[in-house]
Structure 1
């Protein structure tokens, strides 16, 4: 098998035992990028070839510093990697060179990874479709006319095509889950607090987004999660969970799986999404798990109002200064301006009410986990759409009233910071991939990864049906 098609842990083992060199891995990686990145546009700001090969040679000549020693990785272009541009998909930041690593990026680098460039993302990560005026759109490897999803679309497409064996992503509103599902790979949103953000600005109020790992198998997810996690002494609210990778050989026990379906009609699905999902649930039953339908456990409209309030409040906090400056305001995409305007207009009591609704949902879902171990929803409500479309305006004839309403299915987990693993769930009639969100209670990250590993051993969707590369 090609060394680019095996997992990151398998590459790490080969580098450790001397059957593979970092130079050979880098050469193969750059050849693959040359061959396919022009079609999908997943990796951006790629460092010069000579520079990367020289760093690979240094990795071969020095003692191993961690499991990622000599493995190429590209960082999602919302986070900083020292010496590389952090455009965030915005012309306002194009060419801005990072002076330091983001916290989790420093951990990845310390584990020996060679950072080769960045992965593409939508402007400021807004909208689950990766396109921006700096680098252009990322295309789905399974159909170049379609979206790769987002905001971790570049990372997901790079994994699917073998340009990377491991990648980071981040997730506020499905940005690890939707692109993983649409690219037939795994993506994990960890429990809140496990992967630290940056010790900048407010560190208490805005707890919606999480960084996490993406890979072609759950064992690699666990390995990268262990590297990224752990409290940052400069920040509050962090967690230092026990490592997940050592537990990955422990078989997953029988799980009580709750299928949330369309949430009592609140979530509209395109034709075929529920069919693929239910077929995957049948496979989980065949693996020995119990699957039951769960009625809508909470008011979807109340949850949506809470989410959109808190999201706009957070976006306005992060981008408000750019909006207040007339020169930079005009360079923000319409979705960003809309979010900021909403966020700046809320009263303190409106934000408080949104957080109370969030708290009510957390109390309800915590009680629900006394009845089931895992909740399941599709990772997206429709199939990858036209890459030239800004965002879907309808699903199955139902109008979408905001630029992100079509991703409402990811809100239940994201609103209250529950861990979620996207598993590849199969393919639709047009040959496009879909995924399932496996949602667990806070702190059940390892248990979800064990279940995902059992699923992977039985299905191996990323290996069984990779995208065509020519």
Structure 2
């Protein structure tokens, strides 16, 4: 199956083997329909590239579908397919799910193995499921998760139980709410306004909600350092040979990796370890953390990336994605669940987060929120009109 990575350098590329998660889905009886669109080399949260152009949002065709799994999220929202898979380093499963009113899960690193990865121990990028419902996400996770001998970080837990999701009883649940991640990220007012009622749903279900945020000091620098190092390792030689073909933001990010010393990378990995230990202590006091998935609502599809968020300039293509990638640094599972709409009818997702390796509990809480709100069942007027005809 042609696999272009959204790059003209691979416009006619056909791999010789399947990825492990594709093999697992095939063994489970999945019917593979095709590839969906991504940004160039899946870098960024807006799905456009010179091979297939821009993926547009089914809720407003003038808006972005997010990324990097923007094609997958749009296809799910349109009803073209019931399940999709993708990867998530800085929000690539969560952001498009938020933009397209579907569900996207970033699992704990190691939950879904990456035996083909050259650097699985870094744990920044993980594979995971997307679907229109929490139950369908859980079903796909139960198929693609599980240990693999060629991934030293893969978890040994039997994944089959993950498919059985029973909505959690939220009474007494200890919920932390961090609308700006402890004032570390700007969030547009329309996003905050959409999420406040979503958080109130937990209180109506009997949960105890309080403002709180885990320790994120140093998370930004650690994430950016390790991302740049990984990008340089993967694509540095290709950039040297074909510099004019790479989109400028990706070329910049690869070049950033060349400014990092071995000491910088080791310091960043040490910082990740400290943050992940601090997250464990945070989740001793809180069952779940709620936060925005994206700092903006779906933006103009003709933009490369949002340059201002809540009046704050965004200087790189990464800045506006911090609400997701800071959570990546904690090494915990996080799910984007449909949480409402802006006044303009644009979808907004709620990010629900819990301690590492507790996907089943996370899915149960997400299912309870989904059942109480049913935001994911809402469709644009043109879809509803078509269905009635």
TM range (shorter): over 0.9
Q: Are 1:334 and 2:248 counterparts?
A: yes
Map of 2:157 onto structure 1? 241
Q: Give the TM-score of the pair, scaled to structure 1.
A: 0.79
Q: Are 1:224 and 2:140 counterparts?
A: yes
Map of 1:289 onto structure 2? 207
Distance 1:426 1:106 in 2: 35
Q: Are 1:116 and 2:33 counterparts?
A: yes
RMSD: 1.6
Shift, 1:185, TM fit: 0.7
Distance 2:181 2:163 in 1: 36
Map of 1:154 onto structure 2? 71
Distance 2:238 2:381 in 1: 39
Distance 1:187 1:314 in 2: 23
Which of 373, 378, 381 in structure 2 is aligned with 1:464?
378
Map of 1:347 onto structure 2? 261
What pairs with 1:19-168 in structure 2 (closer than 5 Å)?
A: 84-168=1-85
User: How many equivalent pairs are there?
Assistant: 382
Q: Are 1:380 and 2:294 counterparts?
A: yes
Distance 1:396 1:419 in 2: 27
SS of residue matched to 2:209: strand
Map of 1:394 onto structure 2? 308
Shift, 1:263, TM fit: 2.7
Q: Are 1:274 and 2:192 counterparts?
A: yes
| Structure 1 residues 199 and 424: CA distance shift in structure 2, 3 A | same
Larger relative contact order (CA 8 Å, sep ≥ 6): 2
TM superposition outliers: structure 1 runs of 4+ over 6 Å: none
Map of 1:55 onto structure 2? none
Runs (5+) with no aligned partner, structure 2: none
Q: Are 1:304 and 2:191 counterparts?
A: no
| Structure 1 residues 246 and 150: CA distance shift in structure 2, 3 A | closer
> Which structure is larger by alpha-carbon Rg, 1 or 2?
1
SS of residue matched to 1:447: helix
Runs (5+) with no aligned partner, structure 1: 1-83
Q: Are the aligned partners of 1:160 and 1:466 in contact in 2 as well (CA < 8 Å)?
A: no
Shift, 1:246, TM fit: 5.1
| C-alpha distance after superposition, 1:44-85 (max 9, x if no partner) | xxxxxxxxxxxxxxxxxxxxxxxxxxxxxxxxxxxxxxxx01
Shift, 1:318, TM fit: 0.9
| C-alpha distance after superposition, 1:380-420 (max 9, x if no partner) | 00111110100111112211121110011112321132101
Shift, 1:295, TM fit: 5.0
Q: Are the aligned partners of 1:276 and 1:434 in contact in 2 as well (CA < 8 Å)?
A: yes
Q: Are the aligned partners of 2:86 and 2:130 in contact in 1 as well (CA < 8 Å)?
A: yes
Q: Are 1:259 and 2:177 counterparts?
A: yes
Q: Are the aligned partners of 1:141 and 1:467 in contact in 2 as well (CA < 8 Å)?
A: no
